Amino acid sequence: MTRSAINTGAGRVLLFLYALFALAAGARASVQIATNFDEAPVAYLLSAFAAVVYLVATVGFVRGGYGGRRLAMVCLLVELAGVLAVGTLSLVLTSAFPDETVWSQYGRGYGFVPLALPVLGLLWLRAHPESRDAPPPTGNAAEDADAAGDR
């Protein structure tokens, strides 16, 4: 049995969406922080944090393999927790969010994609498990290449 690649097929769509959201959230946060930081610092810093999470998840999907899968999974779990927490808080404590974040109201400003994306990503990772025959990396590039059949 060979390794299941998380960055092939529909995984490429996820990779593209995560890269797009990293760019969109990063650009939004940069402009907001540079021009209006005093108006809603928490909201703008949360958008910057979301951009970092999207970027690191993108790196996980690009890397693939054992390490990439773990990295992506951690990011998706952090993202899902963030969307649920910020989404709920932005509805309950509206005064704490004078301006929207990427995750406000569960990503309403982005068509709820920030709510759906981590769920779809986690389902993708679950549907494409790492092969049991592919051991975790040892840190030795030559041994890892042999184990993966890359030689």
Mean of the per-residue pLDDT values for the chain?
87
**Residue 135: band (very low, low, confident or very high) from pLDDT cuts 50, 70, 90:** low
How does pLDDT run across 110-129, given as a tens digit for each residue? 999 999 999 999 999 999 88
Q: What is the 3-state secondary structure (H, E, C) of the chain?
A: CCCCCCCCCHHHHHHHHHHHHHHHHHHHHHHHHHHHCCCCHHHHHHHHHHHHHHHHHHHHHHHCHHHHHHHHHHHHHHHHHHHHHHHHHHHHCHHHCCCCCCCHHHCHHHCCHHHHHHHHHHHHHHHCCCCCCCCCCCCCHHHHHHHHCCC
Please tell me the pTM assigned to this model: 0.82
Measured distance CA(11)–CA(118) in Å, rounded: 13
pLDDT at residue 67 above 80?
A: yes
List the one residue out of 76, 90, 107, 109 whose CA is nearest residue 42. 90
